[in-house]
A and B are shown apart, each in its own frame.
Chain A
Amino acid sequence: MALDTVAIATANPDTTQPFAELGLKGDEYARIKEILGRRPTSSELAMYSVMWSEHCSYKSSKVHLKQFGDKAVKSDALLVGIGENAGVVDVGQGYAVTFKVESHNHPSFIEPYQGAATGVGGIVRDILTMGARPIAVMDPLRFGPADAADTRRVLPGVIAGVGGYGNCLGLPNIGGEVVFDETYLGNPLVNALCVGVMKHSDIKLAKAAGAGNLVVLYGAKTGGDGIGGVSVLASETFVATGPAKRPAVQVGDPFVEKVLIECSLEIFAEDLVVGIQDLGGAGLSCATSELASGGSGGMKVELDRVPLRDATLSPEEILMSESQERMCAIVEPSKIDRFLEICKKWDVTVTVIGEVTDGDRLEITWHGELIVDVPPRTVAHEGPVYSRPFAEPAYIARVNAEVINPVIPQTAQEIKDAILMMAATPNLADKSWVTNQYDRYVQGNTVQSQPDDSGMVRIDEKSHLGVAVATDANANWSYLNPYEGAKLALAEAARNIATAGAIPLAVTNCLNFGSPEDLGVMWQFAETVRGLADGCLEMGLPVTGGNVSFYNQTGDVAILPTPVIGVLGVIDDVRTRTPMSFDRAGLELYLIGASDENLSGSEWAYLQGLRGGQAPTADLQREMRLIELLVKGRTDQIFTAAHDLSQGGLTATLTEMVLRHNIGAAITLENTGMNLLVETPGRVLVAIEPAKAAALKAAAGDIPLTYLGTTGGDALIVNDVEIPLSQLRTAHTSTFQKLFG
């Protein structure tokens, strides 16, 4: 194909262009022509099409997401807010922490290993781009039914990909989720979270300031992989009969990324960059337009200088390529020699591809010919915004009106069977088969990891300052009531931080939904964002960033609305954390929080095929009092152990606690079946020394407290039901081995 230049585009205004094939709507194409005052060149068209894709532009979600800013409480802890690569939070002692969760759902369905691997790679580069050393990753994952044939294709590949990439980067994997539901069968969710730490003074931003400063591309060479990956994959619903989409999946090389991380950190430490941006979705189109847009606006790039893996790539392909492990930096001319020296030390390919100008256009040339001449803001930040119509879907009234009556175990045998069944069911079974494929020890600072309520890492070896991170979503509740579901997921993630005694500080999110062109899905999304924004406002927690993944839908079947909420907490001394389980006999067990009898959305109801009913109403005031109690319990050393009650209720919590250190427990329980299985939010099981009972009661105030029993022995005993720990362990630990071994 002949080179399409600005001059040619001006001279030939009527050339037919494949805007629809690139995912642009007719009115979007018309708007590009209006902005430029001519038709776009093919390179400009490529840039606009990827940058205006749903994935990059948030065009369907923007109008809703602004609530996170509008409703936010003023937080002194927030150093960098939404809009940059990741938000940054002050955690004290001069340290700042950045964290973010992103989706890599569609690529992971097509090519599970590479899709998941590059998902980890992408979020790690986002964190690095802020100037931070990445210190941990987490992976909330969702798959189709555990025994489905395609789950056996997707799950092992995803787990190996997450491990293969993260392990090779030297990042401990400190937690996540593995959840199964039939709606994820054609649309698995692979979300990846990364946490990074830096000193306040080291924060970096994506801006190209200072005319004459150099635009430097470093890292891997550019290849033909992942061309248009985000726009092609993440912005489209899968069609069963469509062509194979594998060419659009990126291929990662974690070794190159590990070297890129160390090289970048050395460059940052010597203060050699003015601005920096990683190349992720939309590749160079994104990096150059966002850097220029974040600065004064002017930038000149000689695209033919970009080092290529495949010399036959066209300028359009180079602009759209999503080759992994690349970064783009803005460097003052006086510092470029040192910059190049450090890249040479790490054997990192580095090329000066352009410079910042004092104009307001992004100009890209190809062997001297001008092929892109655009106002960068129109590419990066002024994409189309849609107020898509939405309406409460018909199913809501129907399922909310349902009164579900799951069979409740009554006899001793039924209760024993229920406890063992819940211990073994894939959603609640031991996940070691998964997490044993992840390195949790590297860096030597991991204090908590799966199966703890939250992941916790030490960030200062002298002061013992640390951070905790938890991610949660309860899609069953979000399906019944997306507004409450979002608040409940927020409350659960915050509670999971607090059970260890850490103080919740900030929120990130990954909002996974079906097609925004579906009225009902868009309503689920709108309600979720409204719920999360209201919840964050009420709990005083800022949203520092996030990610939206639409089009998780096959045909008419959308996934359950799945807002994954990540909460970051801080703990001043990780040595004093409250562990999730007890390692000795003779402790007293108390249930904190009130239980009701609503099994809607519970695992027990799900196992009986019952999906209707009404989600609980989140009581965030009560959740906040509970968090206060949990933090006080740690600082006053009241608790020996504390563990959250969530999916699977008391029986799941008890199973995990007794198996952790192989110390049994004996409890008495009224209304036994119901109280073992109900998932009422806002509850925590704690173990205390008997002498601390008075202190616990005093600290709890008006929060209900129920004495359940004591720890010890080699069985889990509930009233007259006795289950040897060995039997419980076999039930809990053999599920994944059997399914995926």
Chain B
Amino acid sequence: MKVGVITFPGTLDDRDALRAASVAGTTAISLWHDDADLKGVDAVILPGGFSYGDYLRCGAISRFAPVMKKVIDAANGGMPLLGICNGFQVLCEAHLLPGALTRNKDLHFLCRDQKLVIENNSTAWTSDYTQGQEIVIPLKNGEGSFQCDDQTLAKLEGEGRIVARYVGENPNGSRNLIAGITNERGNIVGLMPHPEHAIETLTGPSTDGLGFFTSVLKAMVK
């Protein structure tokens, strides 16, 4: 089972995502933004970073990268696709997920260990968690405040498409404490915090993040 991780210019967490996918038991493959070739991967991760320097808006330029056409087509066909942090921003810009990520409410970049609750464990990326399970993984971003209109919010809530919510104080001003959402089909997930930084206790706050990567392995085997 092959998981591709895309590197855009300015991507930072690509090697971490590759490591996490390997540790979970998948074959992790590096993909290049300018190369319209998915190299036969079964799932794709858009990792964190500041692709194209966040010029214009976070993710606004990356979404037009040559590789993204293939990614969008494959995801619309059901391929599991996870956008972490900047990747989540790219997914919103590409209209694969609704809403937008805006500047944190206190205007600072924020890096901390964040408690989340998994609200939807039926997506391709969260089946290894139990519903209501609390996990702690790093949150680190400057523009992580999830915003959308009331109608979209009601739809997301009504259809159970909130994948994870922040527990406790709202770290960035996201509506309804939203940390991650999914599409109707459940194959595309956007998540602001970083599961790839929580796969070993030596370097992360926990191993709670590994579930995202083992989940997709199971989804692909099915």
Contact = CB atoms under 8 A, between A and B. Distances in A.
Nearest to B18: A444
B119 interface: no
Given A168-B10, A444-B203, A458-B203, A437 B111 contact: yes
A442 B34 CA distance: 24
Contact of A574 (B53, B194, B202): B202
A160 B50 CA distance: 16
A658 B124 CA distance: 41
Contact of B12 (A437, A442, A447): A442
Contacts of A167: 50, 109, 111, 140, 142
Contacts of A437: 108-111
B52 A255 contact: yes
A560 B103 CA distance: 39
B37 interface: no
B197 A441 contact: yes
Nearest to B12: A170
Contact of A446 (B49, B55, B203): B203
B49 A170 contact: yes
A495 B140 CA distance: 31
Interface residues of B, number: 31
B191 to A, nearest CB: 15
Interface string A712-741: 000000000000000000000000000001
A258 interface: yes
B23 to A, nearest CB: 10
Size category, A interface: 35 or more
B16 A259 contact: no
B155 to A, nearest CB: 33
A133 to B, nearest CB: 11
B16 A160 contact: no
A378 interface: no
Interface in A445-469: 445-447, 458, 461
B87 interface: no
Contacts of B199: 444
Nearest to B32: A345
A443 interface: yes
A220 to B, nearest CB: 12
A575 interface: yes
A271 interface: no
B110 A436 contact: yes
B9 A441 contact: no
Given A258-B10, A444-B15, A444-B203, A168 B53 contact: yes
A447 B203 contact: yes
A168 B50 contact: yes
Contact of B53 (A160, A253, A346, A446): A253
Contact of B140 (A258, A439, A574): A439
A438 B111 contact: yes
A104 interface: no
B19 A255 contact: no
A253 B9 CA distance: 13
A200 interface: no
Given A441-B204, A443-B16, A444-B15, A255 B50 contact: yes
A518 to B, nearest CB: 39
B111 A441 contact: yes
B42 interface: no
Nearest to A347: B9
Interface string B190-222: 000010110100111000000000000000000
A256 B53 contact: yes
B202 A575 contact: yes
Contact of B9 (A164, A346, A444, A575): A346
B172 to A, nearest CB: 12
B9 A259 contact: yes
B11 to A, nearest CB: 8
Contacts of B9: 255, 258-259, 262, 346-347
Interface in B107-154: 108-112, 138, 140, 142
A443 B15 contact: yes
A164 B53 contact: no
A437 B49 CA distance: 15
A681 interface: no
B93 interface: no
Contacts of A164: 109
A575 B12 CA distance: 25
A254 interface: yes
A163 interface: yes
A599 B13 CA distance: 47
Contacts of A441: 16, 111, 138, 140, 194, 197, 203-204
A134 to B, nearest CB: 12
Contacts of B197: 441-442, 444
Contacts of B53: 168, 253-256
A435 B111 CA distance: 8
Instruction: Give the residue among B12, B15, B196 with the most A Cβ atoms within 10 A.
Output: B12
Interface string B95-111: 00000000000101111
A440 interface: yes
Contacts of A442: 12-13, 16, 48, 140, 197
Nearest to A169: B12
A517 B62 CA distance: 53
Interface in B1-60: 9-10, 12-13, 15-16, 19, 34, 48-50, 52-55
Contacts of A461: 19
Contacts of A432: 112
A440 B204 CA distance: 10
Contacts of B54: 255
- Taking each of B12, B111, B194, which has the highest tally of chain A beta carbons within 10 Å of its own beta carbon? B111
Contact of B111 (A345, A347, A439): A439
Nearest to B110: A436
A397 to B, nearest CB: 47
Contacts of A345: 34
Interface in A153-205: 160, 163-164, 167-170
Nearest to B113: A441
Contact of A445 (B110, B111, B203): B203
A440 B111 contact: yes
11 contacts: A170-B49, A254-B50, A255-B9, A435-B111, A436-B110, A436-B111, A437-B109, A438-B109, A438-B111, A444-B197, A574-B202
Given A168-B10, A446-B203, 19 more contacts: A160-B108, A167-B109, A168-B50, A169-B12, A170-B12, A170-B49, A254-B53, A255-B52, A346-B9, A432-B112, A436-B108, A437-B108, A437-B111, A439-B109, A439-B111, A441-B194, A442-B140, A447-B202, A447-B203
Closest CB pairs A-B (n = 6): A255-B53, A170-B12, A441-B197, A444-B16, A168-B50, A441-B138
